[in-house]
Amino acid sequence: MKSYKYKRGVTLVEILVVVAIIALLASIVIGLSTRINNQSKERCLECTCALLECALQEYCEYTGKFPEQPEKNFTNVLVHSEYLYKELHLIPESRKILEKIADSLVKNEYGAADTPAEIYDPWGTVLDYRYVAGDNFPELVSAGPDKIFGTADDISNR
Ligand SMILES: [Ca+2]
């Protein structure tokens, strides 16, 4: 007479192996979707920077210079972004290009309603604008996926 006592059901080790495989597959899927999401955001950022560069070229043709940022310490990103928006908004051709940027990236989250809007990157961080006299072309800097400036994933138009 055969005993089926140990053939029925699954062992704890088998359950752990299945759980580990499911966890591994889930982490691969999450990793891939995060990467694809970041790649699409990077492309969105490239398009935004290209539009801002066109708007800056128009500004330069109209005024003979690029907007110079009011501070030179590169720390007050919010002020830089609002300043860029305000300056580009003053020049009709630049304003037309500025209006082509997605509404989700141009918001007035800081200051009163009548203050200039800020320009954001696709990760939701304010885009930094850097230009001091003598530079060849203004620099637009995104804090990147980690939303922190000065780290390796920062993205610049230069
Ligand atoms: Ca960063």
* pLDDT in the model for residue 73: 64
Q: How far apart are the CA of 112 and the centre of ligand 1, in A?
A: 28
Secondary structure of residue 7 in the 3-state scheme:
coil
The yes or no reply on domain 41-156 and CATH 3.90.700 is no
- Contacts of range 8-17, beta carbons closer than 8 Å, 24 or more positions apart: none
pLDDT grade for 4, boundaries at 50, 70 and 90: low
Q: How far apart are the CA of 4 and the centre of ligand 1, in A?
A: 60
DSSP-H helix ranges across 64-157: 77-90, 92-98
Q: How far apart are the CA of 142 and the centre of ligand 1, in A?
A: 7
Radius of gyration in angstroms for the set of CA atoms belonging to the chain, rounded to a whole number: 25
CB distance 117 to 85 below 8 Å? yes
Q: How far apart are the CA of 77 and the centre of ligand 1, in A?
A: 13
Q: Is 88 exposed, middle or buried (0-12, 13-18, 19+ CB in 10 A)?
A: buried
* pLDDT in the model for residue 1: 56
Q: Among candidates 10, 28, 9, which has minimal Cα distance to 18?
A: 10
pLDDT grade for 10, boundaries at 50, 70 and 90: confident
Q: How far apart are the CA of 75 and the centre of ligand 1, in A?
A: 14
The more confident residue out of 9 and 80 is: 80
Q: What is the mean pLDDT of residues 16-37?
A: 96
Q: How far apart are the CA of 21 and the centre of ligand 1, in A?
A: 33
What is the per-residue pLDDT across 52-100, written as a single tens digit (0 to 9) for each?
A: 999 999 999 999 999 987 666 667 888 899 999 999 999 999 999 999 9
Query: Which residues are found with C-beta within 5 Å of the ion, ligand 1?
Result: 143-144, 146, 148, 151, 153-154
What is the per-residue pLDDT across 100-126, written as a single tens digit (0 to 9) for each?
A: 999 999 999 887 888 899 999 999 999
- Contacts of range 107-114, beta carbons closer than 8 Å, 24 or more positions apart: 110/78, 110/82, 111/82
CA 26 to chain centre: 26
Q: How far apart are the CA of 148 and the centre of ligand 1, in A?
A: 4
Maximum Cα interatomic distance, the chain, rounded to a whole number of Å:
99
Task: Domain ranges for the chain, please list them.
Answer: 41-156
